[in-house]
Amino acid sequence: MTDDLARIILLVGFAVVAPVGLYHRLRARTDEKLDRRQEGWLVLLTLRPVAVAFMAGMATFLIAPRRMAWAAVPLPSGVRWMGVAIGIAAAGLLIWTFRSLGRNLTDTVVARREATLVVHGPYRFVRHPFYLAFALAVIANALLTASGYLALTGGAAFVAIVVRTSVEEQNLVNRFGDDYLDYMRRTGRFLPRIGNRTKQA
């Protein structure tokens, strides 16, 4: 696979997923102020800057891939095509998650005043399908672009997300109480829980 073909594939993927994400984010917008400081200073000072660094690398690869040649990793064409397959899975999971979450969508750990506990769609299987989709997208983009830089910055962003998840889940326990605790017991955080699942009432 050539970098030019990888760029075309990435642009097509972006053209498909970005409008869906924008639609659902606009649809979920309210005048409610969400306190992002609840994420904790460590996450506030790392997650978004690292995510911006990742996106800057992606943009540079799309506009002028030769400028990212310093971070290139020699990967067989078949491995780069595996990135395409993983990216399709990530896009499908992301769109499914957007549709399932609806107006509960936020970009921080704070639940909205009128939030509901979502346990359908991909939330039947994992508590954080958005983050799973993000991890898959990082892997897909790193393989497709054969970029060590994207693997490193994307991986660092996911680590910050994992740290943030504990605060998010505590907020959800505070909000939904035993319902969320029961949901946690029967559902994996990022991967489906196999065996020992508590049956839903």
Per residue in 62-90, pLDDT (tens digit) is: 999 999 999 999 999 999 999 999 999 99
Mean pLDDT for the chain? 89
Extents of the domains making up the chain:
3-22+36-186
- Name 102's Cβ contacts closer than 8 Å, sequence gap at least 6: 24, 27, 28, 118
When pLDDT is averaged across residues 103-119 and rounded to a whole number, the result is 80
pLDDT at residue 199 greater than cutoff 50: no
Q: Amino acid identity of 94?
A: L
CA dihedral 78→79→85→90, nearest 10 degrees, is: -170
Per-residue pLDDT of 147-180, as tens digits, reads 999 999 999 999 999 988 988 898 899 889 999 9
We find that the CATH architecture of domain 3-22+36-186 is: Up-down Bundle (1.20)
Q: What is the pLDDT of residue 78?
A: 95
pLDDT at residue 112 greater than cutoff 90: no
Q: For residues 82 and 201, which has the higher predicted lDDT (pLDDT)? A: 82
Identify the bridge partners of residue 72 per DSSP, sorted by sequence position. 147
Q: Determine if the pTM surpasses 0.85.
A: yes
Q: What is the DSSP string of 125-176?
A: TBS-HHHHHHHHHHHHHHHHHTBHHHHHHHHHHHHHHHHHHHHHHHHHHHHH
Alpha carbon distance 124, 118 (integer Å): 9
Tokens representing 168 are 């998010």
pLDDT > 90 fraction of the chain, expressed in percent and rounded:
66
Coil vs helix vs strand at 120: coil
Nearest to 110 by CA among 163, 168, 160: 168
Cβ neighbour number for residue 40 with a 10 Å cutoff:
16
Of 92-101, 112-121, 158-167, 175-184, the poorest mean pLDDT is in 112-121
Q: What is the DSSP string of 9-46?
A: HHHHHHHHHHHHHHHHHHHH--S----GGGG-HHHHHH
